[in-house]
Structure 1
Amino acid sequence: MPDLPSGAVTFLFTDIEGSTRLVKQLRDRYAEVLAEHQRLLRAAFAAHGGHEVDTQGDSFFVAFASARDALLAAVEGQVALLSHPWPEGVQIKVRMGLHTGQAVATGGRYTGLAVHRAARIGAAGHGGQILVSQAAQTLLEDEEEDLHVFLRDLGEQRLKDLDRPVRL
């Protein structure tokens, strides 16, 4: 595994919304749909310098050296998922969350509160959404127009196991 970014790192967490329902709906075809979802997202992550830290089931944990690259990968991934010709009656909606913070990389893994905060942000979203923490947004402020994205302030949100609200 290549060296993971260190210092201020932007973490991206993804998860398919309603994956249990999809398993029931697709049965044996779910594995094929999951593999295609993984292929599309991995291509977006790789195109923007993402380092896949972990994957479990239908979720990804990816690290980026910059908030810009993380957001570009997330947007590209969402566009790829939305425009992909899924089997009839199937919609793959992925929630994504970005957070930038200080993290320590040890043995191909990260530790620190920033990782937990990013995971909670990712879990708070709905399929098709990309939630961005205020810490990551601050780094993106001067680039929003260049990136052709619009970030909407959702205000402070209480997230599981975090002592204070997080502005998204």
Structure 2
Amino acid sequence: MTDIEASTALLRHLGDRYGDLLNDVRGIVRQAVVQAGGREVDAHADEFFAVFARSGAAIEATVAVQRTLSERAWPDGLDVRVRAGIHSGRPTLTETGYIGMTVHTVARVCSAGHGGQILVSGETKASIEGSLPAGVRFHSLGEHRLRGLTHGETLFQVMAEGLLADFPPLRTLPAR
């Protein structure tokens, strides 16, 4: 899942031109998802939700998205960044889309991050051990409380060449 950082401020600044920016960001995300073998599930407002058969493919796609966004010249010299969250699980597929705790968890993982950052859950890290995409590594950010979840979630930041590495503290709930 991705979410455009500061989308309201971008909309306020760009006005009618925001639609073009949103279409550009979605196009970049769509292309990376398709190239990595994923499937778009939903694109609503400034969020984009996709599914992948392999966690490694999701990581490949999000790394490609972050690199492409950072290399792009945006209108008025703006920085356009997305926060990205990856979680592994088995959501339920209904006529209207995917539902379940897996979907809620990935949304919370995504919202904990900052623009340019890729966060993965402990489940995702465990599912990919030994088959990490080339040039990618994980940096442990420890256990965090995520809004609406009853348990702590161990989060990891994806590190790779061409990605930002330094971010403020995660946007999570205080420890109990």
Match of 2:167 in 1: none
TM, length-normalised to structure 1: 0.88
Supply the distance in 2 between the matched residues of 1:141 and 1:88 (Cα, whole angstroms).
Answer: 42
Offset at residue 109 of structure 1 (A): 1.3
Offset at residue 108 of structure 1 (A): 5.3
- Matched residue SS, 1:143: coil
Offset at residue 141 of structure 1 (A): 2.0
TM, length-normalised to structure 2: 0.84
Offset at residue 138 of structure 1 (A): 1.0
Supply the distance in 1 between the matched residues of 2:71 and 2:96 (Cα, whole angstroms).
Answer: 33
Match of 1:6 in 2: none
Provide the identity percentage.
41
Question: Which residue among 126, 130, 134 is the counterpart of 2:114?
Answer: 126
Match of 2:136 in 1: 149
Task: Tell me, yes or no, if the aligned pair for 1:96 and 1:129 is still in contact at 8 Å.
Answer: yes
Match of 1:46 in 2: 34
Root-mean-square deviation (CA, aligned residues, Å) is: 1.1
Alignment of 1:96-115 (within 5 A): 96-107=84-95, 109-115=97-103
Supply the distance in 1 between the matched residues of 2:103 and 2:8 (Cα, whole angstroms).
Answer: 25
List alignment gaps of at least 5 residues for structure 2: 156-176
Q: Number of aligned residue pairs: give it.
A: 155
Higher relative contact order (CA 8 A, sep 6+): 1
Supply the distance in 2 between the matched residues of 1:40 and 1:117 (Cα, whole angstroms).
Answer: 24
- Alignment-mate amino acid for residue 94 of structure 2: T
Alignment of 1:1-168 (within 5 A): 13-107=1-95, 109-144=97-132, 146-168=133-155
Offset at residue 132 of structure 1 (A): 0.3
Offset at residue 88 of structure 1 (A): 2.9
Supply the distance in 2 between the matched residues of 1:167 and 1:118 (Cα, whole angstroms).
Answer: 13
Structure 1 residue ranges, 4+ long, deviating more than 4 angstroms after superposition: none
Higher helix share: 1
